[in-house]
Amino acid sequence: MTSRGRAAGVLLALTAVAAAPLTGCTAAVPGEARPVLLTEGDRRLVEGYFEQANHAADRGAGEQAAFFRRTQHPDAQDRLCDLRGLTVRMEPALTTLRPDPEWSPAGRTGNPRGMVYVVAVTLTARREGATLGSQIASKHIAVLDGAAYGFAPCPS
């Protein structure tokens, strides 16, 4: 065999070896890709979180502080803030509720456990019944082991 023939044979062999792993890629994988969806159960838990938070706010700053302590996400227990006598009413626009699996709290690496959702809310800060301010913001809620957990607000 000539050197040209050997080179052609080697080239043919290398092409066959290189193409071999690609043959498995032509098979279709059953199923279909779809985004993570919000379940009705999770929607009810998130809605209940806001109802309970607002009920606690209606009963005073101490009640709401206790609510935030009870419902603070287990991965963020060290991030509770003193609201200094404020109450915060949170009115969610539930039509904006969607999964946000890539989110992590500011200053943290890694995502909190559970299914994390984000929703637009109107926040109204009050002290002793007097409204101090209102704003629209994003609020994250995580559903973990059948319960809704928040990330307590901190006044700046």
What per-residue confidence (pLDDT) applies to 21?
A: 47
Cα 149 to Cα 155: distance, rounded to the nearest angstrom: 19
Q: How far is CA 47 from CA 19, 36, 95, 146, in A?
A: 54, 19, 11, 13
The full set of domain ranges for the chain reads: 40-150
Query: What percentage of the chain exceeds 70 in pLDDT?
Result: 76
- Residues 139/119, Cβ–Cβ less than 8 Å: yes
Summary mean pLDDT of the chain: 84
Q: What is the pLDDT of residues 113-147, one digit of tens each?
A: 999 999 999 999 999 989 999 999 999 999 999 99
What per-residue confidence (pLDDT) applies to 78?
A: 85
| 17 vs 63 pLDDT, higher one | 63
Average pLDDT (60-64) is 96
Task: At 27, give phi and psi (nearest 5°).
Answer: -80, 135
What per-residue confidence (pLDDT) applies to 17?
A: 41
What per-residue confidence (pLDDT) applies to 2?
A: 55
Average pLDDT (46-68) is 97
Average pLDDT (55-83) is 94
* DSSP code for 106: T
What per-residue confidence (pLDDT) applies to 30?
A: 74
The pTM of this model reads 0.76
What per-residue confidence (pLDDT) applies to 153?
A: 76
The CA-based dihedral angle spanning residues 45, 54, 64, 71, taken in that order and rounded to the nearest 10 degrees: 10
Q: What is the pLDDT of residues 100-109, one digit of tens each?
A: 999 998 877 7
What per-residue confidence (pLDDT) applies to 13?
A: 45
| 90 vs 9 pLDDT, higher one | 90
